[in-house]
Amino acid sequence: MSELQNDRLLRALLREPVDVTPVWMMRQAGRYLPEYRATREKAGDFMTLCKTPELACEVTLQPLDRFPLDAAILFSDILTVPDAMGLGLYFEEGEGPRFRHPVRDRAAVDALPVPDPEGELRYVMDAVRTIRRELAGRVPLIGFSGSPWTLATYMVEGGGTKNFALSKGMMFDRPELMHALLEKLAQAVTLYLNAQIAAGAQAVMIFDTWGGTLTPDDYREFSLAYMQRIVEGLTREAEGRRVPVILFTKGGGQWLEAMAETGCDALGLDWTTDIGEARQRVGDRVALQGNLDPCVLYASPESIRRSVAKILERYGEGSGHVFNLGHGIHPTIDPEHAAAMIEAVHELSQPYHP
Amino acid sequence: MSELQNDRLLRALLREPVDVTPVWMMRQAGRYLPEYRATREKAGDFMTLCKTPELACEVTLQPLDRFPLDAAILFSDILTVPDAMGLGLYFEEGEGPRFRHPVRDRAAVDALPVPDPEGELRYVMDAVRTIRRELAGRVPLIGFSGSPWTLATYMVEGGGTKNFALSKGMMFDRPELMHALLEKLAQAVTLYLNAQIAAGAQAVMIFDTWGGTLTPDDYREFSLAYMQRIVEGLTREAEGRRVPVILFTKGGGQWLEAMAETGCDALGLDWTTDIGEARQRVGDRVALQGNLDPCVLYASPESIRRSVAKILERYGEGSGHVFNLGHGIHPTIDPEHAAAMIEAVHELSQPYHP
């Protein structure tokens, strides 16, 4: 493997000194980039893009060729694991992801296999290996997975949902069945992330997109407990370095203390929590990643710069902060506005790393 | 006016002793009720239902005829005020509310009138008067309005939005223009709620549906400050009793202390905050309304009863709690499940009011 030329991300995630605050963006390889839309067009459909390692590598690297980002993140879908479990993932135009075989009863849960990451999911590992080779040490590569709870909602509903009628219905009425499903998902995700690490991922992130729709008790029992199990099962060292783990629950600002206790290295923050207050609450235990409102990128470069400055000031001096949006970049953002954000982070963060 | 036979709601909102915990449901007059769907059919379209006081009264009373609820809430739309400002509200099937004339520049903001509540909005006041007469003192009537920030998002976007591109764009790039719009809305909402109180509303609630999409700083500056101005301008006594004011910011669980400082009487809580912890934080200053996850009503009556018991236990002994869902009841809920919740609240709360 090539030597890492820019390790700011890894250092900041471990709260080690850095020269400037590192920055990347959730969904940085995405529809706001014309070059992404061109590759997507070439691929035909979205899953072909995910399942063709060369194309996944191509879109992963696109934002790095355009912006001085401090990390690459594997381009993939969060639903690859349920798809490999045999649920039959497909995308309906304008409808989002759907599953042909939702999981709604004991027989369906029991029948779910735990996929072999180098079997049905080999295309993901091949993408990781290809990206690492092509990155040639420019920046670290982040691997990722959806959280068990987040995956379970899609698997039970048969796709995206606004109301969580079936998934929460199962959680309330048949908690033991939901736990069986989550247990299987925690096993599968642990294997999946460890395989990504073995293939070359230098940090990993667990996206808990829907944990924030739960009550505090239900969050701890049905989402956090399974993320903790994953954290405990992960390989934490590779290529002679620690592999940091980032947990991100959207809407989880009230539960940072509990999240920090899982043993992860960093927490993702959406924009509804002040990062300075978050640092006071958990900054002695974990690094923080975030937390610009993605809507700021709709505004002018001057407004963007002002908002970046405020977050850097709130976090304050020292390492332990990875700048990011509080959620994925919106598809209609002007790439020049993303450039303004990234430039502002590097420039304005220097005084905080004396 | 008839004497009030059941004043549990008003007493609980003022933290005065009650025999059992009062309960009502956001959107209790709504699509989950077959009798509502019949009236809606009869009315033809949604705005005719809102604008015909007899029909608005009919649907307001329907849930009270079915369940032993402790409050009625005016049936209306949150966008009546912008409609009366001349924006041209209409509903597209399956698309939600839209405005013919969005507000996007200084000229449009300056041109907005502050509507006379007994003029363009007289149909709302007539509905309040009709409902009070027909209620004949069974339970108190709650009036309501959307918060200035929430109304502004619809007015700038021209309808509902997922990304808040235009409204947050204006907030970041032209804060002075957004403030001018919010200032006008705060004036209009104050007049609107005071007119509802004069017409017979015995408590009022401000729905801040979209305040929770803001950063803590932006929430204080662009949403909470204007709700505070409204609270300060409201008539707080009518018919010889205090008129309690409830503030509800969906997703505002991190900001309860600041909300309690506005001078309101009660805070609405969604289900992502533990009501026992919320009581510790602000229960010496305000009552709390909430906070059952509305998805619990998808589950069995046994599960519903268990979840009700947990919230009552977490709140603990004494007054100051109005039981409610943490958000509006979903349209596909079985009315029998709502009945199970209401029954459980009255029955299981007795030991907490010795």
pLDDT digits (tens, 9 = 90+) for A308-326: 999 999 999 999 999 999 9
Residue B2 has pLDDT above 90, yes or no: no
Q: Looking at the partner chain, which of A173, A215, A300 has a beta carbon nearest the beta carbon of B299?
A: A173
pLDDT at A157 over 80: yes
Element (DSSP H or E) covering residue B37: helix B34-43
CB B107 within 8 A of CB B160: no
pLDDT at B224 over 80: yes
Whether the per-residue pLDDT at B159 is higher than 90: the answer is yes
Mean pLDDT within B198-203? 98
- Is the pLDDT reported for residue A136 higher than 80? yes
| Interface mutation target, options A149, A298, A308, A315, chain B, most CBs of B under 10 Å | A298
Q: Using 50, 70 and 90 to split pLDDT, how confident is the model at B200?
A: very high
Distance, in Å, from the CA atom of B90 to the CA atom of B95, rounded to the nearest integer, reads 10
Q: Kindly report, residue by residue over B118-148, the tens digit of the pLDDT.
A: 999 999 999 999 999 999 999 999 999 999 9
Query: Which pLDDT belongs to residue B93?
Result: 76
- pLDDT category of residue B21 using cuts at 50, 70 and 90: very high
| B273–A251 C-beta distance less than 8 A | no
Backbone angles phi, psi at A249, to 5 degrees: -105, 110
State how far the Cα of A333 lies from the Cα of A336, in Å rounded to an integer: 8
Q: What is the pLDDT of residues B91-104, one digit of tens each?
A: 887 778 999 999 99
> How distant is the Cα of A168 from the closest Cα of chain B, in angstroms?
6
CB contact under 8 A, A254 and B253: yes
Q: pLDDT at residue B1 above 70?
A: no
For chain B, the three-class secondary structure string (H helix, E strand, C coil) is: CCCCCCCHHHHHHCCCCCCCCCECCCCCCCCCCHHHHHHHHHHCCHHHHHHCHHHHHHHHHHHHHHCCCCCEECCCCCCHHHHHHHHCEEEECCCEEEECCCCCCHHHHHHCCCCCCCCCCHHHHHHHHHHHHHHCCCCCEEEEEECHHHHHHHHHHCECCCCCHHHHHHHHHCHHHHHHHHHHHHHHHHHHHHHHHHHCCCEEEEEECCHHHCCHHHHHHHHHHHHHHHHHHCCCEECCEECCEEEEECCCHHHHHHHHCCCCCEEECCCCCCHHHHHHHHCCCCEEEEEECHHHHHCCHHHHHHHHHHHHHHHCCCCCEEEEECCCCCCCCCHHHHHHHHHHHHHHCHHHCC
In chain A, residues with a C-beta closer than 8 Å to the C-beta of B254 are 253-254, 272-273
Q: How much is the average pLDDT of B207-220?
A: 98
Does this model's pTM top 0.90? My answer is yes
- Arithmetic mean of pLDDT, B67-87: 97
Q: What angle do CA B213, B219, B220 make, to 5 degrees?
A: 170
Q: What is the pLDDT of residue A92?
A: 81
């519903």: which residue's tokens?
B304
% of chain B beyond a pLDDT of 70: 100
Q: For the segment A40-51, what is each residue's pLDDT rounded down to a tens digit?
A: 999 998 999 999
Span A156-177, average pLDDT: 96
The residues facing B146 across adjacent strands are B207
Name the band, by pLDDT with cuts 50, 70 and 90, for residue A1.
low
One-letter amino acid of A291: N
Note the helical H segments in chain A: 8-13, 34-43, 46-51, 53-66, 80-82, 106-111, 122-135, 148-157, 165-173, 175-199, 216-218, 225-233, 256-260, 275-282, 301-315, 335-348
Nearest CA in chain B to A304: B172
Rounded to whole angstroms, how far apart are CA atoms A15 and A22? 12
Residue A82: C-alpha distances to residues A180, A181, A192, A328 (Å): 15, 11, 11, 22
Catalytic residue among B36, B104, B132, B154: B154
Q: Spell out which residues of chain A touch residue B298, defining contact as CB-CB under 8 Å.
A: 163, 165-166, 168-169, 172
Q: Does the pLDDT at position B271 exceed 70?
A: yes
The secondary element (H helix, E strand) that includes residue A228 is helix A225-233
Mean of the pLDDT values across residues B324-338?
Answer: 97
Both tokens of residue B104? 């996007």
3-state SS, residue A288: strand
**Would the CB atoms of A172 and B310 count as touching at under 8 Å?**
no
pLDDT tens digits along A53-104: 999 999 999 999 999 999 999 999 999 999 999 999 998 877 789 999 999 9
**pLDDT of the residue at B122:** 98
Residue B252's nearest CA partner among A260, A255, A294, A253 is A253
The whole-chain average pLDDT of chain B stands at: 97
Distance of CA B39 to the CA centre of its chain: 22
Residue B94, both tokens: 């399956």
pLDDT in tens, B276-287: 999 999 999 999
Could you write out the DSSP letters of every residue in A157-175?
Answer: HTB--SS-HHHHHHHHH-H
pLDDT for B66 beyond 90? yes
Cα gap A157→B19, rounded to integer Å: 41
Rounded Cα distance, B103 and B170, in Å = 11
Distance from CA of B53 to the nearest CA of A (A): 31
- How confident is the model over B189-218, as a mean pLDDT? 98
Q: What is the pLDDT of residue A2?
A: 75
The DSSP bridge pattern shows strands A321-325 and A287-292 to be parallel
Mean pLDDT of chain A: 97
Are A274 and B215 within 8 A, CB to CB? yes
Active site residue A116: no
pLDDT at B95: 77
3-state secondary structure of B11: helix
Nearest to A132, CA basis, from A196, A70, A190, A51:
A196
pLDDT tens string B27-52: 999 999 999 999 999 999 899 999 99
* Cβ within 8 Å, pair A330-B300: no
Query: Cβ A296–B330 below 8 Å, yes or no?
Result: no
Please tell me the distance in Å from B39's CA to the nearest CA on chain A.
25
Q: Which residues of A touch B (CB under 8 A)?
A: 163-166, 168-169, 172-173, 212-218, 251, 253-254, 271-274, 277, 293, 295-296, 298-300, 303, 307, 310, 330, 332
Q: What is the pLDDT of residues A328-343, one digit of tens each?
A: 999 999 999 999 999 9
Catalytic residue, chosen from B8, B27, B132, B305, is: B27
